Structure 1
Amino acid sequence: MKLDIFSDPVCPWCYLGKANLDRAMEAHADHPFEVEWHPFQLNPDMPEGGVDKRDYLSRRFGAAQLDQIHQRFRDIAAKAGVQMDPDTPKRIPNTLDAHRLIHWAGLEGRQTPMVSALMRAYWVEGRDIGDHATLADIAEEAGLDRAAMARLLATDADRADILARESHARGRGVNAVPTFVIANEYVLSGAQPPELWGQVIAELAAEKG
């Protein structure tokens, strides 16, 4: 059963949502899902070189409120058993190239490992996933050929396709991430807990059985 996931590696809710889904699928090895990841840029107008994360978010929310937001994420992550400190990433990158990398990984059956590697690199290790050399390193960590990915990143390959797919998603009503579409019929939004995913898996099994 197809599970389409619209996500952005720099979205904290996407990181938490993936961790929760991973836990549920590990606990229910008989889950029916065939996962495919789809591009959605949280900050589509972000400059190519990215921006300083704290400066950008402080201007948007105010420094005091930003600290409260970050503490909320720490609490939620700790409760979910997820390693995450919102202060670890120092920059907000433009993620178009990261989405190209996810697309190319999908052609080699490595899409989910690539998403995992990108999210870990950003949220746990604080790496700049807008930087081409960093992206090539992450591609190698996810099992892809580093040199081939570096060559592709240096071109405009598939940029237009990624942007068109994102535009199509927005046209279908995807306006926030993460968004999960089950069998092109049921939609879940946000970082749903593993328990809810367990219920979904059980209900799908009952419908099938």
Structure 2
Amino acid sequence: MNPVQIDIVSDLVCPWCYIGRRRLEEAMRQIPEVETQIRWQPFELFPQIPVSGVERHAHMTQVFGSVRRRDSIFAEVARTGQAEGMDLRFNTIRHSPNTFLLHRLLWKAGQQGYQDTLALALFKAFFTDNRDLTQLTQLATVLAPFGWSPSQLDQFLTSDEGTATVRHQQRLYQFMNITSVPTYILNNQIMLVGAQPPERFVKAITQAARIAPLPTAV
């Protein structure tokens, strides 16, 4: 079988992206004979959010139309996460960040070989630890295990390193008419939309492994 490259078009404030990654992990565990590589690709659900972030509850109320609908949706997603062994604490998230800077960090991590691990750390920091990822000190705590000092992080975030590349990637997936996340692209040929159950991932990965991969676009 061919190795399978899995591009995950995602945003770091999307709980279904986090749940989907957990289900994908279970699928990969079931088919150890297939070599897989995960790459995270940028998508911003709320690009209008300022760099300083916004108050989470008010913003989500605006997104969903009412407090009741917001709370109902989050309760349902939390129950789904709990069934996957995940602790999603929506009620205590105080700030929603602009995620473009986080996508730049993931791009940088991809250059250094720990992109997937960092993505999982950022998801946990936001949804479980409820860290305010607009704050340098909070972000530095997440990045410290990866060898980043606060000064290195500040220097990177205030630079434009990776900006053009991440913008290009975003435009590419917009051109591909990807409008929701998570979206999974396997060997540039098979696309899945949404946090699929493990058995669906197993089927798609196995199918992709039997097809010669196409050249990557990014």
Q: State TM-score, norm by structure 2.
A: 0.87
Q: What amino acid sits opposite 2:91 in the alignment?
A: D
How far apart are the structure 1 equivalents of 2:154 and 2:31? Answer: 37
How far apart are the structure 1 equivalents of 2:105 and 2:73? Answer: 30
Matched, 1:27 2:30: yes
CA deviation after TM superposition for structure 1 residue 173, in Å: 1.3
Q: Among the aligned pairs, what percent are the same residue?
A: 29
In structure 1, the partner of 2:131 is 127
Determine helix, strand or coil for the equivalent of 2:38. Answer: strand
How far apart are the structure 1 equivalents of 2:187 and 2:74? Answer: 34
CA deviation after TM superposition for structure 1 residue 157, in Å: 2.0
* Offset from partner CA, 1:65-95 (integer Å, 9 cap, x none): 1111111112211222222122232111101
How far apart are the structure 2 equivalents of 1:53 and 1:31? Answer: 40
CA deviation after TM superposition for structure 1 residue 180, in Å: 0.4
In structure 2, the partner of 1:91 is 95
- What stretches of structure 1 of length at least 5 have no aligned partner? none
Matched, 1:11 2:14: yes
- The count of aligned residue pairs is 207
1:100 to 95, 100, 104: 104
CA deviation after TM superposition for structure 1 residue 200, in Å: 2.4
User: Does the 8 Å contact 1:180/1:188 carry over to 2?
Assistant: yes
In structure 1, the partner of 2:215 is none
Q: What amino acid sits opposite 1:85 in the alignment?
A: R
1:117 to 114, 121, 125: 121
Structure 2 matches for 1:98-177, cutoff 5 A? Answer: 98-141=102-145, 143-146=146-149, 147-177=151-181
User: Does the 8 Å contact 1:133/1:150 carry over to 2?
Assistant: no
How far apart are the structure 2 equivalents of 1:161 and 1:50? Answer: 23
* Offset from partner CA, 1:30-73 (integer Å, 9 cap, x none): 23321111111111111111111111111332011111111111
Q: What amino acid sits opposite 2:28 in the alignment?
A: M
- What stretches of structure 2 of length at least 5 have no aligned partner? 213-218
How far apart are the structure 2 equivalents of 1:203 and 1:185? Answer: 10
CA deviation after TM superposition for structure 1 residue 168, in Å: 1.8
CA deviation after TM superposition for structure 1 residue 205, in Å: 5.0
In structure 2, the partner of 1:41 is 44
User: Does the 8 Å contact 1:105/1:144 carry over to 2?
Assistant: no
How far apart are the structure 2 equivalents of 1:205 and 1:104? Answer: 28
> Which deviates more from structure 2 when the two are superposed, residues 116-125 or residues 195-204?
195-204
Q: CA RMSD in A?
A: 1.8
Q: What amino acid sits opposite 2:81 in the alignment?
A: A
CA deviation after TM superposition for structure 1 residue 28, in Å: 2.5
> Which deviates more from structure 2 when the two are superposed, residues 166-175 or residues 81-90?
81-90
Determine helix, strand or coil for the equivalent of 1:87. Answer: helix
Q: State TM-score, norm by structure 1.
A: 0.91
